[in-house]
Structures are given as structure tokens and as C-alpha cells.
Amino acid sequence: MAGEFELIKQYFKPLSSGLSESEVGIGDDGAVLNLPAGKQQVVVTDTMVCGIHFLEQASAYDLGWKVLAVNLSDLAAMGAEPAFFSLALTMPESDDEWLGEFARGLSDLANKYRISLIGGDTTKGPLTVTVTANGWVDSQKAVLRSGAQVGDVICVTNNIGDGALGLKVALDTLPASTIDGAPQDDLEGLLNALNRPEPQLSVSDLVKSYATSAIDISDGLLADLNHILEASRKQLNLIGLQAQIEVNKIPLSKLANQYVQLADDWSPVLAGGDDYQLCFTIKKKDLETFIHEALAKGVKVSAIGKVMEGEQGVKLLKGGKSFSSDNLKGYLHF
Ligand code: ADP
Ligand code: MG
């Protein structure tokens, strides 16, 4: 069993290799980092507590991946490029096998997006992991929640709802009738969406160039879109800012579509959370360019609705007709 300093050296020091010679990472009282000219720093932090943000049986690898992924997802939504991160790890005991897997998950994602670990803290207690990630964005170019304009198109990346359905798979609460005949690979895909979300950093530069507002979907599409509406309404000084969403346009995986149809339940898609896809607004004239350029980076972008002046909140349409559902009470204003 490694002691505190040994475990930092063995498991976490290797993740700090991306720093330049003039910078100081792990090992001193603080990290010392160079600031690029013409950029602003974007700082995000997210904590995951065992039993609340992840299941007790979650693998150490997945936890290492996800705690960094959810932070990188925030950077992507701001239009920032990732630079470095710190890690505060609280665990009940020092378990070499667990630490090795945790560090492997963390470093697989850190290497993919070239982000260096610059320090942290290690303490004993109930399993809790906090990452603070830092990124750069061109000065005054950060994409905020408050920039949506009347007439903008509302878009999302990839598919929505797989993370929330993955949680149902993990908890074994997905009714068998709704997944009848689903290949094992599709079920694994749902679990993967839950456990190893991919931060949408490959389009963060596009978001920076074209989006008028953006948010990453962590609490569910409706809740997060409402954050955009609320922040933008204030900025625009309007009485009400409305998003009209056509639910049939929300991109779903094959299995999510099957679930929604058979269970007649849209809640994993609209209110599920754990998507880590981006929801953003964009001017109509920029939409085609964005879709085309995102596709070249392997990211599907779907237009799902528009921003209008009107009663505050999200209004759902299905086939053009007003849509609401008992499962969504508490999430919908209409
Ligand atoms: P101090 O007592 O001065 O706060 P620590 O003993 O907490 O220093 O940490 C020693 C060094 O190891 C520091 O550079 C710190 O940033 C780094 N460190 C501690 N825990 C972690 C961790 N979980 N991941 C990465 N670096 C860590
Ligand atoms: Mg310390």
C-alpha cells in the first residue's frame, strides 16, 4: 500500500508531463504556469461523490475518466481549449489496484485532449473526487449562457438521452418490454454514454466562432436550456424569452427511440441529465456551416427549435402541435 507521497509520485506525477521547462507542476507548494498572451483563462470545477454522482459499483477507470470529462465538457461549452487541471482526491483507503485503474482512466482522457495535471490534494475520507480544469479562450470570445437572441436556432450535438437510459441499465430499472430484442452492443452503448461521456471539445472552436450562447447538458435538456433562456432574457431585458422545441427533431439513438415509443416516456431525453452534449444557439445564417464543419470532426449537430419572444420557458411541440407529458411535470412551464 503506497503512502501519500509515494502514491502521488507513482500514479499522478506521470500525468503532469505536458508542462514546459519554465513551468512547475506537481511537487512544490503550488504550480507555476505561463499565461498565453491575448487569452483569457476559463476555470471550471466539478465534484463527484460516491453514491450521489456515481454508483458505488462504478469502476475506478470510469470514475477517473468521467470526473475529468464532465469538467472538459464545461470548457467545451465555453468555447475554450483545455490547458491543465488539478485533482482533489478523498478516499477511504489507499488501494493500489483502485488507484492504478483510476489514474489510467484519468490519463486516457487527459492524453486524448493534451491536458496536464498540475497538482492537487490527497486526503482520507468517503470517496469523493474533485477536478478543477483550466482552459484558454481568445480574449472576450468566451461563449456565455446569456447570448441567445430572438430568432436564433437551437441545436444539440450527437444524441440525447443515452446517459439517463444508461443509468436505468446500470440500476436494472429499464422495463424489459422496452428493450426487447436490443443487441447487447446497444445496451453497452448506453452504459458507455453514462460511464465514459465524451466531452465535445472537438467542436469548442466552432462554438467559439459561431454560437451566440451555449451550455453543456448535465442536468437534462429542459433544465439546461432554461438556464440559457433565463440568462439571455435578462441580458435582452425582455419580459419573456421562449424556446420552441420540436421533440421529433431531438436526435435519439436507436434504442432511445425504441424506449421513448414503447414506454411513452420522454423524461430520459428531456429531463434525464448525464448527457454531456452541447446545447447552443446560433444565427440561422451560420447553421449550415456549423453542421458541415462539425460533421467533418465527427460530430452530428441537429437543429431542434428556435428562440422567440413570448412566455418565458421551453415550449414543446410534437409534429407541430403543443406537447406535454405527466412525466415532465416540474420541468415544464407549459
Ligand atoms: P502541501 O502540504 O504543501 O499542500 P501536499 O502534500 O498536499 O502539499 O502535496 C504535495 C504535492 O503533490 C503538491 O504539489 C500537490 O499539488 C501534489 N498533489 C497532492 N495530491 C495530488 C493529487 N491527488 N493529484 C495530483 N497532485 C497532487
Ligand atoms: Mg496540500
* The predicted structure's pLDDT at residue 207: 98
Asked if 43 and 140 touch (Cβ cutoff 8 Å), the reply is no
Q: Return d(Cα 127, Cα 48) in angstroms, integer.
A: 9
- Regarding the beta carbon of 28 and ligand 1, being less than 6 Å apart is answered yes
Residue located via cell numbers 493534451: 114
Q: Which ligand is nearest to the CA of 102?
A: 1
| Model pLDDT, residue 329 | 66
Inter-axis angle of helices 184-195 and 162-171, nearest 10:
110
- pLDDT confidence tier of residue 87, bands split at 50, 70 and 90: very high
Ligand 1 neighbourhood includes 172 CB (under 6 angstroms): no
Which ligand 1 atom is nearest residue 27's CA?
A: 14
The side-by-side arrangement of strands in the sheet containing 313-318 is 211-216, 278-282, 153-157, 301-309, 241-246, 313-318, 321-322
Is the pLDDT confidence value at 217 over 90? yes
Task: Give me the pLDDT at residue 332, please.
Answer: 65
Interval between CA 4 and ligand 1 midpoint (Å)? 9
Structure confidence at residue 53 (pLDDT): 92
Provide DSSP, 99-147: HHHHHHHHHHHHHHTT-EEEEEEEEESS-EEEEEEEEEEETT----GGG
Mean pLDDT of the chain: 95
Is the pTM of the predicted complex or chain greater than 0.75? yes
CA dihedral defined by 195, 77, 91, 98, rounded to 10 degrees? 40
Closest CA relative to residue 179, chosen from 164, 168, 194 = 168
Residue 131: what residue type?
V
Q: Confirm or reject: Cβ of 26 under 6 Å from ligand 1.
A: yes
Counting residues of the chain whose pLDDT is more than 90, the rounded percentage is: 90
What does DSSP assign to residue 255? H
Tell me the pairing of strands 116-124 and 81-91. Answer: parallel
The set of cell numbers assigned to 277 is: 452534449
pLDDT tens profile 120-160: 999 999 999 999 999 999 999 999 999 999 999 999 999 99
Cβ(87) to ligand 1 under 6 A? Answer: yes
Nearest to 14 by CA among 30, 28, 29, 27: 27
Measured distance between the N- and C-terminal CA atoms of the chain, rounded to whole angstroms: 56
pLDDT at residue 333 tops 70: no
The Cα 276–Cα 254 span in angstroms is: 19
Ligand 1 pocket residue status of 12, Cβ below 6 Å: yes
Residue 256 to residue 145: CA distance in whole angstroms: 28
Report whether 157 contacts 275 (CB < 8 A): no
Q: Which ligand is nearest to the CA of 91?
A: 1
